[in-house]
Structure 1
């Protein structure tokens, strides 16, 4: 087996598909560093626990995730006009001008997605584009995000910021409320605090932060609107995208209920949670004939 090969773990019932990203060696022999294709998971595995599979192979969980992703995307596209932009025709009380759908235009919220993993970011950017979202992506290691995030926000001027990558609960840990029990949660907390010092309003700057098994409570307490992971589970790489989509395309007149935000996420309430948040979509009227 070589770097780049697609594998599954026999001891876990071949439940998740991985790609080998590194090979090391210790007193126990070869150790393979593997990364989930869909879940934001990096793990170590001995050679005898891995089984190579074809690149197109999908485990049972992968099949479930793929179906959920496709269903969420189709639902978003099908319901966006009716659900997010209001009725197709309205009557203005002041001018009595009928606003038709053809003359109405809008601007969704802009997103800055900062990710510690280039492959996952690329996957997210493709779905942002598919959903017609204004998103800028930057690859920044988790430990470097606190120092760089404010300058990136000043440059990009987003309405919504995503801080994600990888995280994990350290082995033999009993205190799940301590940041010392997690691989990268402290960096997400520091980055969120830096953002809130720059912009304190939860409505002006919406923040999603966290990755797999992150310390959900501490990240929310530091100032995030949304965070992972309430039940310390693995999250899907596209969960932040679906959270952002709901906020970006909800009218600024509306407060989005957290249950509605989570409706299209892949891992649901076990993986993602947060606070009521105001939408970022602004309607305009009339549309220019030269646009």
Structure 2
């Protein structure tokens, strides 16, 4: 049976390492592929593809879920420690229960622009689980530079996420050339537009990139965090985990880049950045009206 658009496949030439969805077929010979769980776009000859059975897709999704849950567990554990630290610095004591707390929390807000609508939905669900206010938009990577400024003006976020799909096309040449990447140049252009809007890297924190993106060019353009230092693939939810770290790190403290990357699924080879202040603010006292809105 021939492979069709929508099928799940792997590539024989890469040892069947990553599962992809076939998004289009060109001239009946070349398939355009998008990663199932990784932010990667690729193309491959039709005869290089192997169709994946539904039960194998389900196994891969279950493995990914386990990794996501482990990252979430680490985040929640560290957030408890950060909450106690912030409370102690403000009031001089800890040990109160959630119900008895006299403080309220204001984490940073996120504007998330994503080149993949399916990935965006998964990210929005995770932001909500993490308690982060987010404005999310599905935009093709090439359109992000056009819309970045107007969306920043409208929503005034603390954190901007620019992500989607990318890949380094080694056969085109130099690893430093943006022309050798599928979408890095659009991410770079969007970062430059964002920095024209807000030059201060602690007032607007930017994460930019996807699988195999040009890490150095993204940082040079003005991103605080980016992918991919080792030109490896990053997981769908990795940008969310970086945003969470920034959103819940106090405005008095800088984000520990190593710790932020450690809690992602991909790790330090896939994500990195520069010293950046957090966006979290602790307030007190919490009023009865505030408590009601929490419920």
**TM score, norm. by length of structure 2:** 0.88
2:35 and 2:41 in contact (8 A); partners too: yes
Provide the residue aligned with 1:15 in structure 2. 17
Q: Write out per-residue CA displacement over residues 224-271 of structure 1, whole angstroms, 9 at most, x where no aligned residue.
A: 101111111111111100000000011111111211211111111211
Provide the residue aligned with 2:196 in structure 1. 197
Provide the residue aligned with 2:215 in structure 1. 216
Give the SS at the match of 1:277. Answer: coil
Going from structure 1 to structure 2, the CA distance change for 1:203 and 1:46 (only over 3 Å counts) comes to: same
How many residues align? The count is 285
| Matches of 2:50 and 2:258, distance apart in 1 | 39
Give the SS at the match of 1:246. Answer: helix
| Matches of 1:56 and 1:18, distance apart in 2 | 15
2:141 and 2:164 in contact (8 A); partners too: yes
1:107 and 1:281 in contact (8 A); partners too: yes
**TM score, norm. by length of structure 1:** 0.89
| Matches of 2:11 and 2:34, distance apart in 1 | 12
Q: Write out per-residue CA displacement over residues 151-176 of structure 1, whole angstroms, 9 at most, x where no aligned residue.
A: 00111110000111122223423321
Going from structure 1 to structure 2, the CA distance change for 1:160 and 1:56 (only over 3 Å counts) comes to: farther
Give the SS at the match of 1:278. Answer: coil
Provide the residue aligned with 1:82 in structure 2. 81
Please identify, of 275-284 and 126-135, the stretch whose mean Cα deviation from structure 2 is larger: 126-135
Going from structure 1 to structure 2, the CA distance change for 1:21 and 1:289 (only over 3 Å counts) comes to: same
Deviation at 1:209, TM superposition (A): 0.8
| Matches of 2:78 and 2:229, distance apart in 1 | 28
Q: Which has the higher strand share?
A: 1
Deviation at 1:213, TM superposition (A): 1.4
| Matches of 2:256 and 2:167, distance apart in 1 | 28
1:2-41 aligned at under 5 Å gives the runs 2-25=4-27, 29-41=28-40
Provide the residue aligned with 2:152 in structure 1. 153
Provide the residue aligned with 1:253 in structure 2. 252
Give RMSD over aligned pairs.
2.4
Q: Is residue 2:233 matched to residue 1:231?
A: no
1:15 and 1:59 in contact (8 A); partners too: no
Q: Which has the higher helix share?
A: 2
Give the SS at the match of 2:22. Answer: strand
